Amino acid sequence: MENTIRLENIVKHFPGVCANDHISLTIKKGEVHALLGENGAGKTTLMNVLYGLLCPDFGQIFLNGEAVEIRSPKEAIEHGIGMVHQHFMLIPVFTVTENVVLGEDMPREPLLDIQQAEQRVKEISHTYGLDVDPKSKVWHLSVGAQQRVEIIKALYRNAKILILDEPTAVLTPSEVDILFKVLRKLVEEGLTVIFISHKLQEVMEICDRVTVLRNGRVVDTVETSETNQSELARMMVGREVFLQFDKEKMTAGEKVLEVKGVSALSDRGVAALQNISLDVHCGEIVGIAGVDGNGQCELVDAIMGLRKIDRGSILIKGKKIKENNTREIIQRGVSCIPFDRHAEGLVKSFSLSEVLMLKEWNNLPFTRHYLFDFNAIRSFSEGMVREYDIRAPGIEVKTGNLSGGNQQKVVLARELSRKPDLIIAGQPTRGLDVGATEYVRQRLLAERARGAGILLISTELEEILSISDRLLVIYEGQIMGEMFTANADLHDIGLMMAGVKRQPDGQIKEMPV
Amino acid sequence: MAQKNGEALTDLMQSERFLHRFERIFSVAVPVLAVIAGLLTAGVLIAIVGASPLEAYKALFQGAFGSPYETATSLNRAIPLILAGLGVTVAFRCGLWNIGGEGQIYIGGMFASAVGIYLVGLPLWIHLPLALLGGFVGGALYGGFAGYLKAKHGINEIITTIMMNYIAIYLVGIMVKGPMQEPPGYFPQSPQIQPGAILPIIWEETRLHGGLILALALALLFYVVLWKTPFGYEIRTIGSNIGAARHAGMKVARVQITAMLISGGLAGLAGASEILGAQYRLRDFFLPNYGYDSIAVALLGQLNPIGVVISGILFGALRAGAGTMQRTIMLPSSMVFVVQGTVILFVVGTAILANLPKYLAKRREAAHGN
């Protein structure tokens, strides 16, 4: 009776990869159980199987000792299993209550009984400390509050087991604290929580037991009280990880990028960048830390000439850029690893060689007398495949058919092979496994050693701390502070990311010798 | 551990290679299957009407390719379909839904007629190219305007091009009953074009005109443009991923407008070649539905200029054979449109087969895995 969920020998194949390889796992009633593993370890796949989104090739699920078959999320909910996805499934223009009751049968069909539903939403939020106004529109809410709405949605449907997929990825440190309070309350009330994460510190803080997955297999299940972070890290990657990179000492050279008091609007017409100033010198990596959606995308667009600047100016190698002239900016020696490689970096229906020439398609050696020189294109592509270790059956294969890590290597090869003076790197390791992540970071450090200036924009603080020389924190389109990474204070950065604290005048402390 | 990883990688690469090969085969197999399935389904419908499908198709084939004269007629019908189909291909490859081939054909025909009728005393080698150019320019301006609205102001090109079709069709109607009407004014048609503007017949004793050479040459040209030049690369990048095109610094608006100019121009040439090669004067409704059919021609041809030539000839043959089918076995010629419609339906329907290679790769993978 104590075992709420037992998974036995779950197997799930995808083309070319076995995402879940005979996974067996027991989750006890009333515990917070972590599923820990790097990207691609099979955590989300396993939970999608449990939630009925995926059908396992093999294996069985037992709920309270009884074998069950879960074929859809609807059936999962009937069994009392609720899931909060990484990307929220909310309708922004609806109120909290409207979102909660969406798809539910109402007592007075076909009429909506919003009042009654509102009452229940209030009760639930009161019981579990899920602070949210049932009447407010979802788009008014902060990301943390939207997540609470998702939790309420599951509780409204009488979920007894709650699956949270990377719940802290989008939250600020203070929002994480609130979430953890809620989770403790849920467990107190007898619920079971499955917490998917790859963040060791959080797992240690909130979870009772942890199951570590690696390459689709269970490494072990341990009590958090009987382990520590470094042991978990070793289990997760199968070897010791070196978070700190050896950086050559560099003396920063001349300025390659100057952003002076830039303000710009977002696509929706609200202020996205407000009086932003920053510099990047040759031979240094400048990190921009911040929670997703605080103007990072707009900043990159502005530098690349893809967004209108309302005030201020941007200088590349001392020369002011004009908007709508991305071509010239690129030709001036700027490379960009875009945030979203599918929407901005790749053309999925294009072959590997076609994508590799995307930034220089019009130039020698690819184009000669208005015609493509296919010999030059082929030899360049083959060279890139070798140099960047792109695992593909040939240069004619469509990039949409490559794995995420290889797709990113294609983008990296294209951008870095141009020997740029300035590299704008937006989330360069998003969705990559540890090996590929390390590769990308090493490559960026190599570019730094070559003398390129790099602007690294990432929501992973760990990434910024491990490779950048200097960092700035962005919050709601404003720079909250600037510091050398060597004397960065994590607590301060956290407060700045949450918009709580601002450095006076953005003064930068002296670099320690 | 490393061993295991290595195996997984080669597995992945094998399935990618498999996918790649299948996608290639599919781009040819799918349209062929669609045509066969369309003909079979339409055959069932013919049987329901009470005729023999075999007889009907025999008559259709006889009417399309039974003699040199009939073969030439099929090809003559194919010329505007190929030219306008190329236009559709260029626009679609750029991600622009040019549904305005119909209107661009009419405007092109009108411009070519005007040049062909009112310029007098020019030798063939000047007058004919001028008239063709007139047709291209007319269609290009008409399509380019929709392209400008789309690229600079974000106005949906599907709606503008459809609406502009009506303006063009009825503008031609007004012209042939008014300013361009042949004196003394009995019929809704223009005077004949000058002999110097006529596209010569290229196959003796038939009606096959030089538009075919033009169509084939342009198909070859646009095959080269789309796949072997930077400009074609820009068109395809914008059509496949506009975000990546912007990040690469492509002048998206400029290329979009240019693509629509070319697209409209090719449709205009379709109208021009019909007037200058087959009809010799402008009439009301002189090429009905060719603009819309050219969309089907382009899709069946997999948006590939060489494919467009083949599917254009197929559709031309269907149109040309319709009359014979009607006469020999007393089947209404509208049955041909049913046949065409079913084929188009199957062609468009093959979009659901687009994921079949991936599905097969997965199946194969699963079979290997166990």
Burial classification of residue A226, based on how many CB atoms lie within 10 Å of its CB (0-12 exposed, 13-18 middle, 19 or more buried): exposed
CATH class for the region spanning B69-333: mainly alpha
Q: Is B14 on the interface with A (CB under 8 A)?
A: yes
Amino acid found at A477 = G
Q: How many CB atoms lie within 10 A of CB A62?
A: 15
Instruction: Name the residue in chain A with its Cα closest to that of B368.
Output: A16
Q: Which residues of B330-345 are buried (b: 16+ CB within 10 A; e: fewer)?
A: ebeeebbbbbbebbbb
Q: Is A346 in contact with B243 (Cβ distance < 8 A)?
A: no
Which of chain A's residues have a Cβ under 8 Å away from the Cβ of B369? 13, 18
Assess whether A152 and A257 both reside in one domain: no
- Kindly report the CA angle at A301 between A298 and A305, in degrees rounded to 5? 140
Q: Is B184 on the interface with A (CB under 8 A)?
A: no
Between CA B232 and CA B220 the distance in angstroms is 13
B167: pLDDT confidence band, cut at 50, 70 and 90? very high
- CB contacts under 8 A, B 20-49 vs A, are 20, 23
User: Angle formed by the axes of helices B124-153 and B101-118, to 10°?
Assistant: 150
Q: Is B366 on the interface with A (CB under 8 A)?
A: yes
* Alpha helices per DSSP H over A219-283: 229-237
Assess whether A346 and A228 both reside in one domain: no
Task: Report if residue A243 sits inside a domain.
Answer: no
For A161, phi then psi, to 5°, come to -125, 125
Contacts 24+ apart (CB under 8 A), A102-109: A104/A156, A104/A157
Task: Report if residue A242 sits inside a domain.
Answer: no
- Structure-token pair, residue B276: 């200058």
A215: pLDDT confidence band, cut at 50, 70 and 90? confident
Which of chain A's residues have a Cβ under 8 Å away from the Cβ of B95? none
Widest distance between CA atoms in chain A:
77
Least confident of A103-112, B52-61, B65-74: A103-112
Assess whether A504 and A435 both reside in one domain: yes
- For residue A225, pLDDT over 70 is answered with yes
The reported pLDDT for the residue numbered A153 is 92
Assess whether A510 and A367 both reside in one domain: no
Instruction: Name the residue in chain B with its Cα closest to that of A13.
Output: B366
Domain boundary, last residue among A181, A208, A237? A237
Assess whether A328 and A427 both reside in one domain: yes
Which of chain B's residues have a Cβ under 8 Å away from the Cβ of A374? 228
Task: Report if residue A490 sits inside a domain.
Answer: yes
Q: Is B185 on the interface with A (CB under 8 A)?
A: no
Between CA A233 and CA A57 the distance in angstroms is 29
A276: pLDDT confidence band, cut at 50, 70 and 90? very high
Mutation choice for A interface testing from B16, B17, B227 by most A CBs within 10 A: B16
Assess whether A326 and A475 both reside in one domain: yes
| Mean pLDDT of the region B8-17 | 57
Q: Is A401 in contact with B19 (Cβ distance < 8 A)?
A: yes
Assess whether A299 and A169 both reside in one domain: no
Q: Is B236 on the interface with A (CB under 8 A)?
A: yes
Average pLDDT along chain B: 89
Domain boundary, last residue among A379, A403, A419? A419
Assess whether A220 and A343 both reside in one domain: no
Q: Is B249 in contact with A329 (Cβ distance < 8 A)?
A: yes
Assess whether A205 and A164 both reside in one domain: yes
Pick A403's closest partner by Cβ from B12, B243, B248: B12
B177: pLDDT confidence band, cut at 50, 70 and 90? very high
Domain assignments of chain B as residue spans, ordered by start:
69-333
A-B Cβ pairs (cutoff 8 Å, strict): 114
Pick A17's closest partner by Cβ from B8, B234, B248: B8
Q: Indicate the pairing of strand A17-28 with strand A3-14.
A: antiparallel
- For residue B3, pLDDT over 50 is answered with no
C-alpha closest to that of A338 among B251, B253, B248, B242: B248
Domain boundary, last residue among A374, A392, A419? A419
Assess whether A415 and A428 both reside in one domain: no
- For residue B292, pLDDT over 70 is answered with yes
Assess whether A153 and A192 both reside in one domain: yes
Q: Indicate the pairing of strand A255-265 with strand A311-316.
A: antiparallel
Least confident of A289-293, A354-358, A382-386: A289-293
Determine the number of helices (DSSP H) and then strands (DSSP E) in chain B. 14, 0
- Structure-token pair, residue B99: 């549904």
The reported pLDDT for the residue numbered A4 is 81
Which of chain B's residues have a Cβ under 8 Å away from the Cβ of A411? none
Instruction: Write out A315-376 in H/E/C secondary structure.
Output: EECCEECCCCCHHHHHHCCEEEECCCHHHHHCCCCCEHHHHHCCCCCCCCCCEECCEECHHH
DSSP string, B201-246: B-STTS--BTHHHHHHHHHHHHHHHHHHSHHHHHHHHHHH-HHHHH
**The domain containing residue A316 runs over which residues?**
248-333+420-513
Assess whether A371 and A401 both reside in one domain: yes
